[in-house]
Structure 1
């Protein structure tokens, strides 16, 4: 069965297919009633709905997972200034609430926390703060070469920020809508499963008589 389905979705589909197969046999025997036909149709419609929902959920979460890996640290050891012997150790949170990767340099045998967030959501906040600090620095005296470098860097940073924000906003809205849809589907699954279980009990009781 589809691996994208959750446990309660798989369970309901199995139950729905039980009634669908039973209806097929009743149809062959010429004993399929209108109520049974309608129940079978409802089961088939619900299965299609569940499969479509699972596919949508998988697509949204796959996109989310790719976004979470969007940021590449390009970390360097603060001692040797090299990156080839770094090993990521853990994730920590700084005073801003941003998640940062910690590394160990196997060449220098030193551990450190990289100074940039490891995910795009916190990177937006980092860029906002960094741009603000650069803009404020232009209000004070500085070396002409440093001023030129800062003035050249600002548009690039602002462009990165303007391109990143809408992508993250779209993803956040998709996940929020998915969460609401999940609540709706869980309620439908619970209600329909209970209904089918009652119908199955009726059927088992009828067959035993």
Structure 2
């Protein structure tokens, strides 16, 4: 299995852990490994495994999040020529609602425009909620029966989409929130253990210095 990407502080600690592992192996061979250092070596090995497990989980959660952010398809059209074949996405901007939307350039009309829908599922939920309210308001005064049926059908379809989308987004938000909490916990643990190992390294170096 491919090793997960580690943060700088995680790499530094693992480097220190492996230094202790090498020293421990040397002490084992010479029969000088104390019970204290044996416990420290075991703790180091456990922490290294914990770091890799955490990094693996982080990678999986962030990868899932990144894929979720890309599920929205724009189906954008040039507002001038009403075609999509000559569009090139040129960037991302935020509209008056704070929703992230894609900007495009139409190479046929030589114009740049912002598509009128969000480019991510979280803002799409807000867009659909607002659009549903507008349709329901319009329904109150709409007299044409065919149009009323069309509005009712459209609202039902959008509500169904929202009902399926919201739980997925909520699960992702909870995963990321839990990951953030775990990241803070691991950062504290790494800092504390690194400081402890640095002290132990100094003590170990001093204990093995030849007597004058």
* TM-score w.r.t. length of structure 1: 0.95
Aligned to 2:146: 145
Distance (whole Å) between structure 2 residues aligned to residue 86 and residue 60 of structure 1: 32
Aligned to 1:183: 184
Aligned to 1:40: 41
5+ residue gaps in structure 1?
A: none
Superposed, 1:12-23 pairs within 5 Å as 12-23=13-24
Cα deviation, residue 204, structure 1 = 2.2
Kindly tell me the number of residue pairs found equivalent between the two proteins: 209
User: Does the Cα contact within 8 Å between 2:90 and 2:103 map onto a contact in 1?
Assistant: yes
Distance (whole Å) between structure 2 residues aligned to residue 144 and residue 102 of structure 1: 37
RMSD: 1.4
User: Does the Cα contact within 8 Å between 2:100 and 2:119 map onto a contact in 1?
Assistant: yes
Distance (whole Å) between structure 2 residues aligned to residue 41 and residue 205 of structure 1: 22
Cα deviation, residue 107, structure 1 = 0.7
Runs of 4+ in 1 over 6 A off after TM superposition: none
Distance (whole Å) between structure 1 residues aligned to residue 16 and residue 69 of structure 2: 37
Distance (whole Å) between structure 1 residues aligned to residue 93 and residue 32 of structure 2: 65
Distance (whole Å) between structure 1 residues aligned to residue 204 and residue 34 of structure 2: 14
Listed one character per residue, the Cα deviations across residues 13-71 of structure 1 (whole Å, up to 9, x for unaligned) are: 11111111211222122221111110000000100110110011111100110111111
5+ residue gaps in structure 2?
A: none
Aligned to 1:62: 63
Superposed, 1:120-199 pairs within 5 Å as 120-199=121-200
Distance (whole Å) between structure 2 residues aligned to residue 143 and residue 4 of structure 1: 59
SS in structure 1 of the partner of residue 6 of structure 2:
coil
SS in structure 1 of the partner of residue 140 of structure 2:
coil
Aligned to 2:7: 6
